[in-house]
Amino acid sequence: MRSLRLTNFRSFTDTQRITLKPITVLVGANSSGKSSYLRFFPLLRQTAETTTLSPLLWFGTLVDFGDFSKAVSRNANPSALGFAIETDIRIPGRRGRRTEHTSLPVAIDVQLRANATQTYVSELKLTCNKDTCRLSLNEKNEIISFAANDLDVLALCKASPKAVPSPFVPTLSWKATTVPGPEEPVTPIQRSLANLLREFSHNRTKDETLLFFARNYLSYGSPKTVLAQVASLKLRHLAAPTETSPEFRKIHTLIFAKDLDVLLRRTQRTIAVFASGINYLGPFRTNPERFYRQQELSIGQIEPHGENLAMFLRSLSAAQLSDLSRFVDAYLDFSVTVEPDGSHVAVIIKDRQGRGFNLIDMGYGFSQVLPVLAQCWNTLRADEQAGREVPTTLLTIEQPELHLHPSHQSRLADMFAAVLNGIRAREQPSQQPEFSLFEPSLMLDRSSFPLRMLIETHSEAMVTRFGELVEKGQLRPEDLTVLLFSKDPESGATSIREATFRSDGTLNNWPLGFFAP
């Protein structure tokens, strides 16, 4: 997932396209929209992890936006909310008789509305390469219009596919009919493609052959890939097609429309897998307790409020706990361990003199930052995470510096940089696995979803330290961006201003006195 754009979402009229950098820092006054933007990502995750027919699950275990009426901007007219995502998908293509998988850039733009009972997709635009499909739907999920580039698909096919509600984007289903000759049923859009091929074919070419080409042979890809497929058919009246010829463009567009459902399913799956790797820590971590009762809680990652921290620590091996303690000590000068006490455990903090103290006796800042440190350390050991289909794709944290002294706040920036650089150091070019678009499983690695961090903060010390790390060469200027959120006092609309780092660690487009009263 490369970028996100939100329209008419909460206080945002239009965020414009925001590219997700390896580290994206969100700053701004209270109630300026930072948390709303950041929490859209755990909203994606809770949608992906729940069986739902709604495009987005507004209320779940991670975040609570109420319902559509609470999430849509008060200034939206008509009452519609949108999100646009850019990502890469892999689809199968053909070279001669071989199937090869290629990566394609996809931009999906979804407009949502709601009736009395549910949220539904009212407009959908999918762009791939330079091709664009547009769908309009009503509240019954019926497709009102379907255009592929300049082609009216519904008018050509004299039929409409069925839109199937599902998370993020709907999928399409054409009603297939059995015809003499082909062994498999044929959909109206496959028949339309076969009819188009008939215009360029020898009059002795069998209908069954053209239907086979339309259904089983021609598949969407880059213009170069599709051109090779069409040329291999050796159509009598299209002997030397080119990428720009009107005849080829018409065939290419119809293939694009035919495979739109494949593209939607692959986009949906890619977003879902990305979302499943999103880890979220909220702004207030659970208050410390003197003893924690042993429970069978999730231990694959730290929960949003750190409620499973003690059980997470308890699940670690001695070597892992020792490694975590060294990680914590490197940035905040203390180590951590757990001590069992019957059916309970205590979280113990040790200073550099080896003196141990119960977490509850160490001040509020330690209890608030410890889940952040544990989650970051866990992200570094992503390959060892039990029960995780993919490693952490996006680490979203609200106010990691809560109740910390400014000197410790700046050291959190060092930790985030170390996590990013540690992941990069382990990255190895991998062989892309073969897979079918219709298989439920998808093998992924770091090359598919490089780690991103989204950090909401009020800490000037942390932002300054990031600049120092850029100046020292420990981070590259392109690794970071700072998003400044501000709300218009009259309209209540939030605007976002982007500041980037120069090589000397100073910020471009940074307003003077931003952190000052």
| pLDDT score at 298 | 63
Are 261 and 370 members of one domain?
no
Are 364 and 497 members of one domain?
yes
Contacts of residue 428, Cβ cutoff 8 Å, sequence gap at least 6: none
Q: Is it the case that residue 339 has pLDDT exceeding 50?
A: yes
Q: Each residue of 74-94: pLDDT tens digit? A: 888 788 999 999 999 987 655
The more confidently predicted of residues 296 and 292 is 292
Are 287 and 417 members of one domain?
yes
3-state class (DSSP) for residue 151:
strand
Are 212 and 312 members of one domain?
no
Say what percent of the chain tops pLDDT 90. 74
Q: Which residues of 465-492 are buried (b: 16+ CB within 10 A; e: fewer)?
A: bbbebbbeebbebebbbbbbbbbeeeee
Are 241 and 286 members of one domain?
no
**Cα separation of 65 and 168, whole Å?**
16
Asked whether residue 492 is assigned to any structural domain, the reply reads yes
Asked whether residue 80 is assigned to any structural domain, the reply reads no
Q: Each residue of 386-439: pLDDT tens digit? A: 444 567 899 999 999 999 999 999 999 999 999 999 988 876 544 433 333 333
Are 265 and 289 members of one domain?
no
Are 467 and 427 members of one domain?
yes
| pLDDT score at 431 | 40
Are 262 and 316 members of one domain?
no
3-state class (DSSP) for residue 133:
strand
**Cα separation of 306 and 318, whole Å?**
21
Q: Each residue of 149-186: pLDDT tens digit? A: 999 999 999 999 999 999 999 999 999 887 666 567 89
Asked whether residue 117 is assigned to any structural domain, the reply reads no
Q: Is it the case that residue 131 has pLDDT exceeding 70?
A: yes
Tell which residue, 78, 51, 73, has the closest CA to residue 492: 73
Domain end (from 211, 234, 269) = 269
Are 201 and 256 members of one domain?
yes
| pLDDT score at 381 | 82
Confidence label for 21 from pLDDT (cuts 50, 70 and 90): very high
Asked whether residue 28 is assigned to any structural domain, the reply reads no
Domain end (from 235, 269, 303) = 269
| pLDDT score at 126 | 98
Are 320 and 256 members of one domain?
no
Q: Each residue of 208-263: pLDDT tens digit? A: 999 999 998 999 998 998 999 999 999 989 888 899 999 999 999 999 999 999 99
Confidence label for 441 from pLDDT (cuts 50, 70 and 90): very low
Which structural domain range is residue 367 located in? 277-508
| pLDDT score at 392 | 87
Q: Is it the case that residue 444 has pLDDT exceeding 80?
A: no
Helices 246-258, 260-276: axis angle to 10 degrees equals 50
Are 394 and 447 members of one domain?
yes
Please answer whether residues 389 and 350 qualify as being in contact, where contact means their C-beta atoms are separated by less than 8 angstroms: no
Are 219 and 310 members of one domain?
no
Question: Average pLDDT in the 265-272 region?
Answer: 94
* Total domains, the chain: 2
- Token duo for residue 511: 């307003």
| pLDDT score at 78 | 81
**Cα separation of 404 and 402, whole Å?**
6
Asked whether residue 62 is assigned to any structural domain, the reply reads no
Signed CA dihedral, 234, 237, 239, 245: sign only? negative
**Cα separation of 372 and 398, whole Å?**
10
Asked whether residue 46 is assigned to any structural domain, the reply reads no
Beta pairing class for 171-173 and 162-164: antiparallel
Q: Is it the case that residue 468 has pLDDT exceeding 60?
A: yes
Q: Where are the beta strands (DSSP E) in 387-493?
A: 394-398, 452-456, 480-487
User: What rounded mean pLDDT belongs to the chain?
Assistant: 89
Domain end (from 269, 285, 317) = 269
Tell which residue, 269, 245, 326, 224, has the closest CA to residue 448: 269
**Cα separation of 51 and 406, whole Å?**
43
Signed CA dihedral, 427, 433, 436, 438: sign only? negative
Question: Average pLDDT in the 275-286 region?
Answer: 92
| pLDDT score at 443 | 40
Confidence label for 301 from pLDDT (cuts 50, 70 and 90): confident
Out of 97-101, 167-171, 214-218, 284-288, which region has the weakest mean confidence (pLDDT)? 97-101
| pLDDT score at 510 | 87
Asked whether residue 138 is assigned to any structural domain, the reply reads no
Please answer whether residues 380 and 422 qualify as being in contact, where contact means their C-beta atoms are separated by less than 8 angstroms: yes
- The CATH code of the domain that includes 342 is 3.40.50.300
Q: Is it the case that residue 382 has pLDDT exceeding 90?
A: no
3-state class (DSSP) for residue 48:
helix
The DSSP result for 243-277, as a single string, is: TT-HHHHHHHHHHHHHTHHHHHHHHHHHHHHHHHT
Out of 25-29, 169-173, 224-228, 509-513, which region has the weakest mean confidence (pLDDT)? 509-513
- Token duo for residue 273: 């897998």
Asked whether residue 119 is assigned to any structural domain, the reply reads no
